[in-house]
Amino acid sequence: MKVFNRIKPVLFWITALVAGHLAQSLIFGLALNSIVENIWRDGYEPKAAAVITVYAIVIQIVFCIVYTVINTRSVTFRDEMKAEIKNKTPVFDVFKKHYLKNAVFEIPVYIVFLIPYTLFYAFSSVDLANSFSFEKFYIMELWAYITSGNAVLGILISVAVTFVILYAVRFIVLLIMRKSLIENSVTLQ
């Protein structure tokens, strides 16, 4: 059972990545694909890249919020937060205890997750007027590859931006949750 408890967060992260990429790919396909295709086909590649960049950053923020909120909904997590509040543990210490340890598996898993697209980008050219479903699956990261023009820089920028957003969202959610628990709990006031 202890082994499963250690693997469970890794499996959840993998599931979240796949589900998040499927969702963002579907949203892009329904809402922006034809617009980006037409802009790209008309020769305005920088403008198409800008649309993808804005979409990717917004969808990345949404993904990080959803992922973080789902993780904080458990009774166990709330009980741990209440205990930390009662012990007057500083927010940053709580953040380190609950989130920074996850970087040990989240960052490597994310890098492995991006390797197929990184290889694809390294050995092919981007044509948003005729993109494949595979490319749309990684549309959330494509902006970094297009902007840098390099597969290695693309993966590095993607990882850096994703984790800056994820950890900023986590810290903000932790602050909000802490405030809410204090305000709504008679025993913590």
* Residue 12: CA count within 13 A, CB half-sphere: 12
pLDDT band at 127 (very low <50, low <70, confident <90, very high): confident
> Is 107's pLDDT higher than 90?
yes
Question: Which burial class, exposed, middle or buried, applies to 102 when counting CB atoms under 10 A from its CB (0-12, 13-18, 19+)?
Answer: middle
Per-residue pLDDT tens over the stretch 33-84: 999 999 999 999 999 999 999 999 999 999 999 999 998 888 888 888 888 8
The single-letter code of the amino acid at 165 is I
pLDDT band at 163 (very low <50, low <70, confident <90, very high): very high
Residue 129 CB: number of other CB atoms within 10 A?
Answer: 14
pLDDT band at 171 (very low <50, low <70, confident <90, very high): very high
- The conformational region for residue 149 under phi > 0 = left, psi -120 to 50 = alpha, else beta, is left
> Is 188's pLDDT higher than 80?
no
Instruction: Give the residue from 105, 122, 93 showing the smallest Cα distance to 163.
Output: 105
Angle, helices 2-31/103-123, rounded to nearest 10 degrees: 40
* pTM value > 0.85: yes
The alpha carbon of residue 7 and the mean position of all alpha carbons in its chain are separated, in whole angstroms, by: 19
Instruction: Give the residue from 53, 43, 52, 17 showing the smallest Cα distance to 163.
Output: 17
